[in-house]
């Protein structure tokens, strides 16, 4: 994106790509259909040590700018939900569009390029297995550390350190949770079950589905909250987010006194889930009619259903994470241009920077917007 925009402005640009192909993450994104932006992009959709940093770039290159480009290429797309725009056909449409823009303005794309060193030398000098490049400016767009099999490297962070920029600790974001205790058994039993929840912790709350897996929990609500989660913390899951009455469960005792608790809950939650919760929460009372439950016990179960506090053992890590939190400290960069404040001509854009989007097309929108900010300054 940055290469195409800079070349359009008349710059001579080379893209140096280590793997066989540029844009591999575009191809695998959004289940192969690339959730390329979100119509409701706001700075609040990003996590960063400096929440203000992303504002300038996001306001100068909006989702509508990118949608304009997509329309120019007649790429069919649709809104899946919550402003999330996906290709109708394939993520390849987005990659082909960016490559066509690069080709049109004469960008040289060099794949299989192993960079050996980057030095200041009247501008910059890059030594690689494909020869030496000299450039007035270098834009680092090496992404994050997720999906190691994609050939990711920490090189962008290393360049930052080499030039004296600080890098904030990195960790996996938008990633499923794993469990080791009784919850692991429960999740395994329920693997494939998904339901609408309000999933929260002290910093954030997401009204979305959770999905039980063989190893733990996934689904959009879990991926979202994982970006706000630190090892050792608990996550609260409200399994009945639309229920606001204080005593809805004790009401059933009056209306359905002869029913089993499992039966009434099964009207509102997946039956398999209720069966597993019964094993853990009221095993002794499984065959008892509601009339024989004390109000206190029902209130306790209701509280657990609406604030199920779970302590993940960890996350699946970079192996399956969609993004990397942390990265090049935004204090080191100009929010207008993404240029290093202390090293002129050195730029950092995209995921390598400490700006991480929520799930839903926000990470690509940051990649496009930060690329635009840098390209306009080159
Ligand atoms: C499975 C999956 C699905 C996703 N789906 C979505 C989605 O639908 N919507 C969304 O908004 N976001 C999605 N994301 C996140 C999104 O893909 C990234 O945030 C985005 O690609 C970041 O763009 P980038 O240009 O900063 O880095 P990347 O796209 O990761 O590109 C970095 C490039 O740098 C190259 N590189 C790395 N190190 C070196 C080196 N040493 N020398 C030369 N080249 C190097 C890499 O090979 C790669 O081509 C998804 C991520 C994953 C893993």
Q: What is the pLDDT of residues 14-36, one digit of tens each?
A: 999 999 999 999 999 999 999 99
State mean pLDDT over 333-344. Answer: 97
Ligand 1 atom index nearest CA of 142: 34
User: For atom 29 of ligand 1, which residue has the closest CA?
Assistant: 25
Q: Say which residue the tokens 């209306």 belong to.
A: 255
Which of 28, 29, 133 most suits a substitution to test ligand 1, by most atoms within 8 Å of the C-beta?
29
Phi, then psi, of 201 in degrees rounded to 5 = -145, -165
* Coil vs helix vs strand at 315: strand
247 pLDDT more than 90:
no
Radius of gyration of the chain (CA): 25
Higher pLDDT, 128 or 246: 128
- Domains delineated in the chain: 2-173+322-377 (3.50.50.60), 177-315 (2.40.30.10)
CA of 304 to the centre of ligand 1 (A): 39
The 3-state DSSP class for residue 267 equals coil
Query: Given a cut of 90, is residue 99 above it in pLDDT?
Result: yes
CA distances from residue 276 to 192, 213, 218, 258, 273 in whole angstroms, order as listed = 14, 14, 18, 21, 5
Give the count of alpha carbons within 13 A of 91, CB side only: 17
Asked whether the predicted pLDDT for residue 181 surpasses 90, the reply is no
At 201-240, the pLDDT tens digits run 999 999 999 999 999 999 999 999 999 999 999 999 999 9
Which band of pLDDT confidence, cut at 50, 70 and 90, is reported for residue 323? very high
SS3 (DSSP) at 131: strand
And the tokens for 263?
């039966």
Predicted confidence at residue 354, as pLDDT, reads 98
Return left, alpha or beta for 90; rule: phi > 0 is left, psi -120 to 50 is alpha, else beta. beta
Could you identify the atom of ligand 1 that is nearest to the CA of residue 147? 53
Q: 265 — phi, psi (to 5°)?
A: -70, -30
């Amino acid at each position: 994106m940055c290469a195409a925009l800079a070349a359009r402005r008349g710059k001579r640009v080379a893209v140096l790509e280590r793997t066989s192909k540029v844009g591999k993450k575009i191809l695998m994104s959004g289940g192969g259909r690339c959730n390329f932006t979100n119509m409701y992009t706001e700075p609040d959709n990003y996590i960063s040590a400096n929440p203000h940093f992303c504002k300038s770039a996001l306001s100068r290159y909006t989702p509508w700018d990118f949608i304009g480009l997509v329309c120019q290429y007649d790429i069919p797309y649709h809104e899946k939900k919550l402003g999330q725009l996906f290709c109708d056909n394939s993520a390849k449409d987005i990659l082909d569009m960016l490559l066509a823009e690069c080709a049109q303005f004469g960008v040289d794309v060099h794949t299989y390029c192993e960079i050996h060193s980057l030095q200041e030398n009247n501008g910059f000098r890059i030594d690689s297995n494909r020869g030496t490049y000299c450039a007035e400016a270098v834009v680092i767009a090496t992404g994050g550390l997720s999906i190691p099999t994609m050939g990711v490297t920490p090189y962008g962070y290393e360049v930052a350190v080499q030039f004296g920029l600080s890098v904030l600790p990195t960790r996996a974001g938008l990633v499923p949770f794993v469990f080791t205790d009784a919850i692991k058994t429960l999740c395994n039993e329920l693997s494939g079950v998904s339901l609408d929840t309000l999933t929260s912790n002290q910093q954030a709350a997401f009204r979305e589905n959770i999905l039980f897996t063989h190893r733990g929990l996934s689904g959009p609500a879990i991926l979202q909250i994982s970006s706000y989660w630190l090892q050792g913390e608990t996550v609260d899951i409200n399994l009945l987010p639309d229920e606001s009455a204080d005593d809805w469960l004790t009401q059933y005792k009056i209306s359905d006194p002869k029913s089993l608790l499992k039966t009434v809950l099964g009207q509102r939650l997946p039956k398999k889930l209720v069966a597993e919760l019964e094993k853990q929460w009221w095993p002794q009372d499984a065959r008892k009619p509601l009339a024989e439950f004390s109000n206190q016990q029902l209130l306790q179960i209701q509280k657990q259903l609406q604030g199920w506090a779970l302590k993940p053992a960890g996350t699946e890590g970079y192996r399956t994470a969609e993004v990397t939190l942390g990265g090049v400290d935004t204090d080191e960069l100009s929010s207008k241009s993404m240029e290093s404040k202390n090293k002129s001509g050195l730029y950092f854009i995209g995921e390598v920077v400490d700006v991480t989007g929520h799930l839903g097309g926000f990470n690509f929108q940051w990649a496009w917007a930060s690329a635009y900010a840098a390209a306009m300054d080159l």
